[in-house]
Chain A
Amino acid sequence: MSDAALGAAGTTTGESRPKGRALRGIPAGVRCASPVALFMALGFLAPLLTVIGFAFAEPRTFTVFDSFTLENFAEIFDPADTVWMSFAWSLALALLTVVLLLFVCYPIAYGLVRVFGRWSSLVSIAFVFPLFISENVRLYGWTLFFINHGVLDGLLAQLGLPGPDVLFTPAITLFGMVYTYLPFMLFPMTLGLSMVPADLVEAARDFGASRTMIWREIELPLAMPGILIGALLTFVLAAGAVAEAKILGGQSVIMISHDIEIAFTYSQNWPRGAALAVLLMLVIGGLSMAVMARLDLDRILGRR
């Protein structure tokens, strides 16, 4: 919109010049950012404000910005309400997912950067490819793998071994989450490790540093931005995960996203769902801020 005004201002003659001057009073950065700002306001800020509005609305009503009450939050923090368990499960499983992924992805990322050489791109593609298939389909695939008389159980039965009973447990939920979010940890981590210049490692080695010292003092600190981004990304995604618990976990644990979904659908209690969503956003947002404060984006983008 303002772009059009800007264009007009540029070509005006005589009488409309004062308008052009008025626009010129606004810094160029603000003028150029305005289309994006408008888009963000409509597409991002407005829904967010609506959700926040609903969180403070009377329970079980469908009017927003009409009333103000803390009843929804009181209900959630009431010890009789067990929704805190969903929060606990979601955050705990998300945290475990991140920790496991740190250990699983580090060797792979190291290999991609330092060991695999020209095979690196092929390995990367192998990790990206599953993303082209819907998450639900892939999770059902794992169900078929683990289910009684499924792939694993059937194979073990052929060998006369008892099949494992792993499906529909919190552990398999965690497995599903680690599986699903692996690429989101792997690639930022790979980027982070690739930012460690090889000659720095060589120099450290030349100065007599041991492998652990090089890892602790050179590789890890320099790769940390990438690792932190990966951890943040997977944590945020995993905290909102729901499909793994439903499909592989068989509802053995209820995730917070599931509760939010239920509030908006079956129980038709939008204000409660909105209040849960706001709480989840606060927790995740707080953690993200804490991590982002430690990141140096300039260095990640190679400006320094």
Chain B
Amino acid sequence: MNMTFTQQAETPPAAGSAADAGADPALPVLQLVGVSKRFDGFTAVDDISLDIREGEFLTIVGPSGSGKTTLLRMLAGLEQPSSGNITLRGTLINDLPARARPTCLVFQSLALFPHMSVGRNIEFPLKAKGVAAAARRARALELLKMVRLPEDYYGKNVMKCSGGERQRVALARAFAYDPDVLFFDEPLSALDYKLKKLLEKELKDLHKESGKTFVYITHSLEEAMVMSDRIGVMRAGKLVQVGSPEAIYGAPANRFVAEFVGEVNVFPVSRGDGGWVIGETGEPVRVALPEQMAGARQAAVVVRPEYMRFLEAPGDADNVVRGTVYNEYSLGSRMQYQIRSKHRVFLVEMSRAQTRAGDGKGEVLIGWNAEDAIVVEA
């Protein structure tokens, strides 16, 4: 794939590629220090500090209203931070308008120009840069190929394209601007599952091939897991945790992240005289406390359903619960069981290939080992 674009040199250096600038890959391309955004009396983004690394695929996830769109709009230059600093390779860009930033936002609505053909849509950023018509056309055809659309789509009415095709047009248009950083505001949220999966993979490929920095926001952690190098989890305007997908999944910083990652068993524990007990019931429980929480007296224990096991005998696991199977769900390749014990409901998941101990609807023993549980701040 030919990603070079010679006309670039004629225009002011709004978007010089990372390689041209000789940027240190260790240096963040975008850096946020204590960035907040307040709208009369409401804090949408609350004191966020974050380094966005050169060439990474960073996904910000969070429930709706967590401030992730506002954060992205500040990065793109469509909003100004109320306080804090945003720097681009060391230059303060707080008040630099969107048009002067080497970044480009793919809107949730895609914001395709409905009165223009596919070709004219893709050429728009080039026209804004003053590229000649013939060169614009040549580049647009190249980009159509890149996003796997046939060349004869050039003259097609963009409103006559299907949802997936529109995604590709929006992507080609963003690439026409040749930004260093691409922002995505949940562009796949309106698509059906299969198409979404396909486009997620294509986007990931495109990220690898182009070497550009991608910052993606979504409320779907599943989407984030598939595509990202790093994931940032937002809640109520704050960045709760940033890390690799493995770190987010395997070592959630707190109960919110743990629960956001998927269905989990969570319960509060506290340190009693004779060791740890489950908060409400006082049943003893074995807890492997991480070092940084050595002195804690309260914590939350998170046990993923796949670490819960059906037991043959009470001695087979550190912690054992007696209960009855009261629901079972097929999750495709896996089965999920809801086990009702005296005080709460536990989720147990296992592969279909496995057979569980204690068949039937009667009383079962389930349990988990202390080291398989994640202990987070309560």
Contacts and interface: CB of A to CB of B under 8 A. Distances in A.
Contacts of A202: 78, 98, 105, 107, 111
Nearest to A199: B111
Given A203-B105, A205-B99, A210 B128 contact: yes
Contact of A206 (B104, B127, B159): B104
Contact of A208 (B111, B113, B159, B177): B177
B99 A207 contact: yes
A200 B159 CA distance: 14
B109 A204 contact: no
Contacts of B105: 202-203, 206
A118 interface: no
Nearest to A211: B99
B107 A205 contact: no
A197 B115 CA distance: 12
A304 B157 CA distance: 13
Contacts of A248: none
B129 interface: yes
Interface string A206-233: 1111100100011001100000000000
B268 interface: no
Main secondary structure of the interface of B (DSSP, over half): mixed
Interface string B124-138: 110111000000000
Interface in A162-218: 197, 199-200, 202-210, 213, 217-218
Interface in A36-67: none
A304 B98 contact: no
Interface in B281-313: none
Contacts of A203: 105, 107, 111
Contact of B109 (A197, A210, A221, A304): A197
Interface size class of B (residues with CB under 8 A): 20 to 34
Nearest to A218: B113
A304 B159 contact: yes
Most buried by B among A207, A218, A222, A304: A207
Most buried by B among A206, A209, A304: A206
B98 A205 contact: yes
B14 interface: yes
B78 A208 contact: no
Main secondary structure of the interface of A (DSSP, over half): helix
B111 A217 contact: no
Contact of A222 (B14, B97, B98, B115): B115
Contacts of A218: 113
A210 B124 CA distance: 12
A222 B114 CA distance: 8
Given A205-B98, A205-B99, A206-B77, A200 B113 contact: yes
Contacts of B107: 199, 202-203
Contacts of A208: 14, 99-100, 125, 128-129, 177
B239 interface: no
A146 to B, nearest CB: 44
B364 interface: no
B80 to A, nearest CB: 14
Nearest to B183: A206
A197 B128 contact: no
Interface string B102-119: 011101010101110000
Contacts of A213: 127-128
A199 B69 CA distance: 13
B253 interface: no
Interface in B22-68: none
Nearest to B76: A206
Contact of B97 (A197, A199, A204, A205): A205
A207 B173 CA distance: 9
A217 B109 contact: no
A203 B76 CA distance: 10
Nearest to A210: B128
A197 B109 CA distance: 10
Contact of B115 (A205, A206, A221): A221
6 contacts: A202-B78, A205-B78, A205-B98, A206-B77, A208-B99, A304-B114
| A-B interface, 3 closest residue pairs, ranked by CB to CB distance from nearest | A203-B111, A207-B125, A209-B128
Given A205-B99, A207-B124, 6 more contacts: A202-B78, A205-B98, A206-B78, A206-B104, A208-B125, A222-B115
